[in-house]
Amino acid sequence: MIELHCAECGGFVTELRYVSYRPAPNGTVAAPLTRGLCACVPPIVFGPPPGYMSSPGFPIPGRSSV
Ligand SMILES: [Zn+2]
């Protein structure tokens, strides 16, 4: 069971299918983890989606080099 916490509010994400995965911007610190439930729409999680590591070479959607 994977536990995900929202980077926006630090709340526990229950609806994994709605999660928006994003690469963590440099210098950005995720919100402190809380025991509350995330109510963001969509929940924001920094990092590649599950299974990314098993698909080497697969580009991260939305990633852009600045
Ligand atoms: Zn949230």
Which stretches does DSSP call E strand in 1-66?
4-5, 12-13, 20-22, 44-46
Compute, in angstroms, the gap from residue 45 CA to the centroid of ligand 1: 9
Residues 20-61: pLDDT tens digits? Answer: 998 887 887 778 888 899 999 999 998 888 776 655 555 656
Domain ranges of the chain: 1-49
Calculate how far, in angstroms, residue 65's C-alpha sits from the geometric centre of ligand 1.
Answer: 25
Pairing mode, strands 4-5 and 12-13: antiparallel
Ligand 1 geometric centre to CA of 4 (Å): 10
pLDDT score, position 54: 55
Predicted structure pTM score: 0.65
Residues 6+ apart with CB under 8 A from 38: 5, 6, 8, 9, 10, 11, 12, 13, 14
pLDDT reported for residue 64? 61
